[in-house]
Amino acid sequence: MNIGILGTKLGMTQIFDDSGLAIPVTIIKVGPCTVTQIKTLETDGYNSIQVGYLETRPKLLTKPELGHLRKAGSPPLKYLKEYRTEPSPGTVVGSVLSVDLFNVGDKISVTGKTIGKGFSGTIKRHNFTRGPMTHGSKNHREPGSIGMGTTPGRVYPGKRMAGRLGGKQTTIKNLQVILINVENNLLVVKGAIPGKLGNLLSIKK
């Protein structure tokens, strides 16, 4: 069963292996997540498992959301997410998923929202080259010509120009699990993952 789990990015550090090699790692607080709904092909048209994460105050949720969670016997949860997967006999509504889903050495995929950097120019956003800085040039960081002349008389869609940079969902695949701390629900992953500290993450095998 390839079910995912939700977590929070805590930060980056480095650890040393037995040979003294420094490994950059990211620490993720994973779960515990509660199974709040199981959808099947017969009742909903597809198979999926919905999990909830991060207990919150009831006043921050709507009445339909509270009723949905109360039906599952779950406390008020801030985040809900579905994972398209075949239901497993051992998974029932109300069961708790934690970091023990993973093993050291597993390869995982982590999905999150990247850090938003606001409105950025073409040099920062697309690695454009700047113009000459001397000899009377007045073209330093401008994008330059963006289209052709009378034919076609327009700018083609998808032209790389200035605009918003970051703040988009992205997935980093094949990250290796280095350490697991079951007592504190911590997952130590080799390399960097999307987003800033406290960012919501979805982790799948």
CATH number, position 58: 2.40.30.10
Q: What is the pLDDT of residue 160?
A: 94
Are 107 and 125 contained in the same domain? no
Q: What is the pLDDT of residue 63?
A: 94
Are 55 and 73 contained in the same domain? yes
Asked whether residue 150 is domain-assigned, the answer is: no
Are 22 and 78 contained in the same domain? yes
Q: What is the pLDDT of residue 62?
A: 92
Q: Token pair for residue 108?
A: 């995982």
Give per-10-residue mean pLDDT for the chain (205 aa): 86 91 93 88 89 92 92 90 82 85 90 94 94 93 89 91 94 93 92 92 92
**The whole model's pTM is what?**
0.82
With left for phi above 0 and alpha for psi between -120 and 50, is residue 127 left, alpha or beta? left
Q: What is the pLDDT of residue 8?
A: 94
**Residues 6 or more apart in contact with residue 152 via CB below 8 angstroms:** none
Q: How many domains does the chain have?
A: 2
Are 45 and 126 contained in the same domain? no
Whole-number Å distance between alpha carbons of 158 and 4: 34
Are 115 and 129 contained in the same domain? no
Asked whether residue 130 is domain-assigned, the answer is: yes
Are 113 and 126 contained in the same domain? no
Domain hosting 139: range is: 120-145+156-165
Asked whether residue 141 is domain-assigned, the answer is: yes
Are 11 and 87 contained in the same domain? yes
Are 39 and 110 contained in the same domain? yes
Are 103 and 135 contained in the same domain? no
Are 76 and 13 contained in the same domain? yes
Q: Is the peptide bond before 32 cis (omega within 30 degrees of 0)?
A: yes
Q: What is the pLDDT of residue 128?
A: 94
Helix (H, G, I), strand (E, B) or coil at 194: coil
Q: Are 131 and 202 in contact (CB under 8 A)?
A: no
- Beta-strand ranges (E) seen in 20-168 are 22-30, 33-39, 48-55, 77-83, 96-97, 107-113, 119-120, 163-164
Nearest to 167 by CA among 127, 202, 201, 118: 118
Are 200 and 133 contained in the same domain? no
Asked whether residue 151 is domain-assigned, the answer is: no
Whole-number Å distance between alpha carbons of 71 and 94: 10
Are 69 and 28 contained in the same domain? yes
